[in-house]
Structure 1
């Protein structure tokens, strides 16, 4: 099994754990706080990864830090903050599995961003994948209302669908940005490049989110302090998952990595039914399956 496949599956499992814990935290704090813990509590783990690779693994530092590295990190870090906040907000509108499925158009959007910014390949099959996933999103949007051709078409313009698609868009932009940042380092190896990129990104995200909370929502800091134990688990799972994503995306294009990452939906369905006790109706299930089918088409392409 190629290394990037094993890493991606492990990262998808950890990301589902992180998302489940964040949904739990949404009841104890607002969207801002639940978004912050993903980054703020992940920073110590990102530092640990870099130091462990250098001091224990014996890996050297990257040969240089070009300006484009910092540009890519800034773009990707801010895009990920936006995507994460949108996803958490989405959990308030729909159940956990359906909320996650909305953002699963990310690989198709990452393919387009990869084509534009990194010259990653795209084919007619990729466009087919996008169309299949879009139909899935439309089905999910109308799953709990009377269905007609008009409602099916208009579903893509609903507020809930818009939030989900926007989340996927920013996640896709972040994925391509992180791949661009890691590749720009040029060495010494995919693990160290990924760890350095992760540390730079989480450091910036923590600064931005802390400043935002102090300015707009200082009371969230108290809520975060109260829920620090769960927040620590969120940070650990999130940082480790991101380390996995960054390593995989250094070895393979962002779109293909994120396509395989749709295996997370299997973990998500299990969490929805077993832990959150939420109901998924038949049409929502079909919509989720279509999204996964579109992503599989992309992967085969």
Structure 2
């Protein structure tokens, strides 16, 4: 069936859009700070997700499904985990190179395997577990401190791996939310979940900013021209992630998403002029090989 392979296309498009959005967010940290740049993808992504949902609903001639508390629990949990993960990722980018940070977060497929087994009963195979060990070895190689590096490497590693764990929880819970909806179009169910998740995230962020940090809220409003493209790319990437989650297991989708590391390599070299060390390249290759094994094991 066509849908058996559509998730691959969706994942590749989402990875490319996410890499572009990440680079834009990194640039925004210089004017908005880590917290402000973190909020951009949610606050400025929400209007686009609503437009996506309205367009899909209009084309299909069907309204969004009725939402229950189980669905809202899955989606809210995924949304809150994503906020935390995004903040940790951007903080890590300020302590090390763009590509290394992205690679640290790619421990996520390993964690998705575990979380999917616990929450969704999607159990990994022995071959997939072998991929887990190889991927972990790659991350350890990249995070091993060089001479004279001080303690900065430990901060970057903790932030990057923390972000990966948050994204793993988020992916697992989003798939759980989509699967909890009544039977219907996977396109409509995925779009509904994206809009609901961003609405919850935006409400939480706005409440926090109004109470604790109104200065950042003002800066976010002032930087709308620079923030809109990042918001659009964030919504576009999420739209295709959710399409993939609707028709394939979260662990398989996030494993294939490792191609983002290759995109990050290009961005790091051409835009940020950052050069990877031999150890970082070797670690990246190990991570790529490990997650590809997970991918092959799941097919």
Could you state the TM-score of these two structures normalised by the residue count of structure 2? 0.94
Cα deviation 1:73-122 (Å, max 9, x = unaligned) = 11100000000000000001111000111000111101110000000121
Structure 2 equivalent of residue 19 of structure 1:
22
Deviation for aligned residue 1:223: 2.2
Any residues of structure 2 matched to 1:5-154 within 5 Å, and which? 5-62=8-65, 64-142=66-144, 144-145=146-147
The list of structure 1 runs, each at least 4 consecutive aligned residues, that deviate by more than 4 angstroms after superposition, is none
Structure 2 equivalent of residue 3 of structure 1:
6
| Partners of 1:79 and 1:170 within 8 A in 2 | yes
Deviation for aligned residue 1:249: 0.7
C-alpha separation between the residues in 2 aligned to 1:119 and 1:113? 9
C-alpha separation between the residues in 2 aligned to 1:288 and 1:213? 37
| Partners of 1:137 and 1:287 within 8 A in 2 | yes
Any residues of structure 2 matched to 1:270-285 within 5 Å, and which? 270-285=266-281
* Structure 1 stretch displaced more, 217-226 or 279-288: 217-226
C-alpha separation between the residues in 2 aligned to 1:61 and 1:180? 17
| Partners of 1:142 and 1:155 within 8 A in 2 | no
Relative distance call for 1:114 and 1:145 in structure 2 (3 A) is: same
C-alpha separation between the residues in 2 aligned to 1:71 and 1:300? 32
* Structure 1 stretch displaced more, 193-202 or 290-299: 290-299
Any residues of structure 2 matched to 1:221-240 within 5 Å, and which? 221-240=217-236
C-alpha separation between the residues in 1 aligned to 2:157 and 2:79? 23
Provide the aligned C-alpha RMSD in A: 1.9
Cα deviation 1:19-75 (Å, max 9, x = unaligned) = 01000101111111101100000011111111111123323432x323210000111
Q: Does 1:249 align with 2:249?
A: no
C-alpha separation between the residues in 1 aligned to 2:80 and 2:16? 24
Q: How many residues of Structure 1 are paired with residues of Structure 2 in the alignment?
A: 294
Could you state the TM-score of these two structures normalised by the residue count of structure 1? 0.93
Q: Does 1:181 align with 2:155?
A: no
C-alpha separation between the residues in 2 aligned to 1:267 and 1:191? 26
C-alpha separation between the residues in 1 aligned to 2:90 and 2:35? 9
* Structure 1 stretch displaced more, 30-39 or 135-144: 135-144
C-alpha separation between the residues in 1 aligned to 2:214 and 2:133? 43
C-alpha separation between the residues in 1 aligned to 2:133 and 2:168? 16
| Partners of 2:95 and 2:152 within 8 A in 1 | no
